[in-house]
Structure 1
Amino acid sequence: MLLGIPNILPPDLLKVMFEMGHGDELVLADANFPAASHAQRIVRCDGHGIVELLEAIVKVLPLDDYVEKPASVMAVVSGDPILPSIWESYEAILKKKTNLSASLESLERFSFYERSRSAYAIVATGERTQYGNLILKKGVIREHE
């Protein structure tokens, strides 16, 4: 155990986030996402949802403030009647961290898959919400942090 580290974050995920550099990306993948076939590195967090993981991750991972939107979601496929309310939770968490009024970029499904293939790592979660996938871009740690 360590002080200040949320206990929901497993050692493998902490190691991956520590290794990442500025601009590297971390995918938080929902339970339907083909994580194993897309990942360069995979971390299993099957028992957790993305919202609870995101709340813990932003406590230790700086987000990129050199880009307009440091997080991306998978856009709903045309004709699919789903409106993912989970995105509102993501925005609320990210707003507290970044002070941006809108921090989420929307990527077409196959663009999201392609970007995930080049991500530093994919976290396979137990999130059951469709279109719950989220990409985070790591920022820099400054002296005052």
Structure 2
Amino acid sequence: MAKPPEGEDSIHEIKLDGYRAQVVIDEPSVRIFTRRGLDWTSKYRDLAEAAKTLDVESAIIDGEIIVLNDAGLSDFGALRKATTRRQHDLYFVAFDLLHINGTICATWHWKTAARSWLASFRPKSGSSSARRCRARPRESRHSP
């Protein structure tokens, strides 16, 4: 493709260099799974705690766990270190909402999903740690 698509129904994806993961919230528990289905909640304990602060009863969120370097870019080498030694540097960048509060969202048009889930993911009142959960709609989809 010589030029990316333009127009109202096109958005573009930023390539992140991290670990693909799904956050599964089933109040009061949160689990984080790898793309192969391994439960890595204990490896990402700070992210799991941050996800508990989101004001949802249940959700399945697909995304990428990353660490940012000084330039603000995802850094895979730093991610490997942060997973074991610097949990506070980890971020979960959400790009697909598959399920929320009993509703399956996987078939929603991306615009509908983006409006719904960005409005839904607010920290519970009194919570300050949800900043680690960064939500953005998945990009690089083109609707005909």
Q: TM-score by structure 1 length?
A: 0.27
Flag the structure with higher strand content: 2
Q: TM-score by structure 2 length?
A: 0.27
Higher RCO (Cα < 8 Å, 6 or more apart): 1
Flag the structure with higher helix content: 1
Structure with greater Cα Rg? 2
